[in-house]
Amino acid sequence: MMPEKQALTTTSPVRGPVSGGHASNALAAGLTRALGPRKVLSSVSERLNYRYDAIQFGVTPLCVVLPESTADVVAVVRAARAAGVPIVGRGAASGLSGGAAPMVEAVVVSFTRMTRLEIDAARREARAQPGVITLKVSEAARPFGLVYPPDPASFRTSTIGGNLGENAGGPMCFKYGVTGDYVKALEFVDADGGVHTLTRDAYDLAGLLIGSEGTLGLITDATLRLSTPAPYTRTLMAHFPEVGQAAEAVSSAIAAGAVPSKLEFMDQACTNAIEDYLHLGLPRDAGALLLVDTDGDDLETVEEERDLVERACLAAGGQVRRAHGDAEAAALWQARRSVSPALGRIRPQRMNEDIVVPRSALPEVVREIRALGDASGLTLVQFGHIGDGNLHPNILFDPRRESAEAVHELAHKIALVAIRHGGVLSGEHGIGTMKRDFMRDAVDPVTLGALRDVKRALDPAGALNPGKILPDGEGMEHG
């Protein structure tokens, strides 16, 4: 099997072995009989396409099932359980921590055909099956004057099931919250094939499922809260000689009462990568760049908030450019949206870290990570949702020239910086395979024990997405 420390790309994941023989045939044949041939993929060429997510190549699945209903999911779980074969849930496989990549021979349950979506405007709710593409929820809600705020940059491809699996966030989450904040109810299939409907009350079991990366149950339906979009938005870009000044501006603006709807940060290396790609006229010599939106129902208040942020940026030594009109605002945000393709031009692969640190620690954290990157000889850029202290240091590499071990070692050092400054390993991408080795550094043994107990309580055989979250292959004792 591919070394799990290897990985990491949004373009071409590192290769692992092909697998699946007799067991595959027997299980696939049984599932084909139960569900019909349209819903089961068993040829090697088909199965090969389901062994990776955006950063991790895993093991070729024994077979792939494309359920169309909760009843289909129940049938797969029961058949896999009877055969002693683990199950890996999969949405669009855009995950950045290895969550949807099978790490052992497994049945992959791909939710892409479960796409029913209903809007109940009176209740301000969307009812979505897990395969619904994130953007479709807002598109369907728009004619009713409603919106679904969680906005991962991948929203054109990611699914609601995957967003729930990772508790996805995005630029708007500082003000509007992450996926889990919009969940009113969930339906999920447990490791025995039992179907549960959960609301957000006693024990909040739905909250436990959200962000559990398919390791506790398979989500088959979600009731999501919708809200009304803010009619007014104002945009500005600020740039600073030093990262510390940008962080200071953010902290003082927030302390003064500003709650921007978007508050994004890029370091100089990231800005230059975008500038090389798009020639937008971004300030190449700036040590840090902020992109800020303020929004709301009352234009005067929105502009006052924008002015407050602007004053904080100027006071911290920054220079500010206001966007005049929607087109200029869109042009500024194009810079942020272009991070992924811009970085893809530098190296074919990248490891996207996702640490969260206290905002006050950001200047030091960014500097320490920069120094680690320089010392490693690898290419590193930093950007993120600075309002939440959520930083995405990206290690860019070419596997033909730079070793996966060196990348993993640098990622580990970055994780340790976050932990030392009172931060956490993941803000929105999850732990998956990528950060599970770091869990022992981040989580004390007693708490790790509690996580293990939760996993055992809901999945005693370790059949659901083994090899994820818990360190050192814990939870892989399926069968």
Ligand X SMILES: Cc1cc2nc3c(=O)[nH]c(=O)nc-3n(C[C@H](O)[C@H](O)[C@H](O)COP(=O)(O)OP(=O)(O)OC[C@H]3O[C@@H](n4cnc5c(N)ncnc54)[C@H](O)[C@@H]3O)c2cc1C
- Residue 154's nearest CA partner among 169, 142, 141, 174 is 169
Integer Cα distance of 403 and 396 in angstroms: 11
Q: Which is nearer to ligand X, 20 or 180 (CB)?
A: 180
Q: Which is nearer to ligand X, 316 or 356 (CB)?
A: 356
Is residue 396 within 8 A of residue 381, CB to CB? The reply is yes
What is the nearest approach in angstroms of ligand X to the Cβ of residue 436? 12
Helix ranges (DSSP H) in 149-295: 160-166, 173-176, 205-209, 243-255, 268-278
Pair of tokens at residue 181: 């904040």
- Residue 356's nearest CA partner among 265, 419, 407 is 419
Is residue 70 within 8 A of residue 222, CB to CB? The reply is no
Q: Which is nearer to ligand X, 354 or 368 (CB)?
A: 354
User: Look-up: residue for tokens 């709710």?
Assistant: 125
Measured on CA atoms in the order 313, 318, 321, 323, is the torsion positive or negative?
Answer: negative
What is the nearest approach in angstroms of ligand X to the Cβ of residue 316? 26
Is residue 242 within 8 A of residue 287, CB to CB? The reply is yes
Please report which helix (H) or strand (E) contains residue 32, including its range: helix 22-35
Is residue 355 within 8 A of residue 423, CB to CB? The reply is yes
Is residue 248 within 8 A of residue 147, CB to CB? The reply is no
What is the nearest approach in angstroms of ligand X to the Cβ of residue 181? 13
What is the nearest approach in angstroms of ligand X to the Cβ of residue 22? 26
What is the nearest approach in angstroms of ligand X to the Cβ of residue 340? 4
Q: What residues are paired with 395 via a beta bridge?
A: 351, 380
Amino acid 349 reads Q
Q: Which is nearer to ligand X, 106 or 329 (CB)?
A: 106
Q: Which is nearer to ligand X, 35 or 372 (CB)?
A: 35
What is the nearest approach in angstroms of ligand X to the Cβ of residue 270? 14
In the DSSP assignment, the letter for residue 188 is E
User: Look-up: residue for tokens 């949206």?
Assistant: 337
Integer Cα distance of 194 and 183 in angstroms: 21
Q: Which is nearer to ligand X, 137 or 320 (CB)?
A: 137
Q: Which is nearer to ligand X, 158 or 379 (CB)?
A: 158
Q: Which is nearer to ligand X, 97 or 376 (CB)?
A: 97
Is residue 172 within 8 A of residue 151, CB to CB? The reply is yes
What is the nearest approach in angstroms of ligand X to the Cβ of residue 209? 7
Residue ranges binding ligand X (CB under 6 A): 10, 53-54, 88-96, 99-100, 111, 130, 152-154, 158-159, 161-163, 165-166, 168-170, 213-214, 218-219, 340, 428-429, 465
In angstroms and rounded to an integer, the radius of gyration of the C-alpha atoms of the chain is 22
What is the nearest approach in angstroms of ligand X to the Cβ of residue 169? 5
Q: Which is nearer to ligand X, 188 or 240 (CB)?
A: 188
What is the nearest approach in angstroms of ligand X to the Cβ of residue 166? 4
